[in-house]
Amino acid sequence: MRHTEFWARMEETLGEGYARVWAMQHVLASLEGRTVEQALADGESPKVVWRAVWAELDLPARER
């Protein structure tokens, strides 16, 4: 998954205005206590980060 696809999914899920805010502020235990932004900045794969977001938000399986 590319970063562009990741952000498109985030915006589709959380809305264009809120996706970036959530990514900067919400800490995920499954990302070792980092935010989405921190995990991506640390070089974590967007696919791994999306799976953490998917689980955190309890999204339907079809969105995985």
**Which tens digits make up the pLDDT trace of 9-59?**
999 999 999 999 999 999 999 999 999 999 999 999 999 999 999 999 988
How far, CA to CA in Å, does 41 sit from each of 34, 37, 58, 61? 10, 6, 24, 27
What is the total count of domains within the chain? Answer: 1
Q: Identify the H or E element spanning 51.
A: helix 46-56
pTM: 0.90
What residue numbers bound the domain in which 47 lies?
3-63
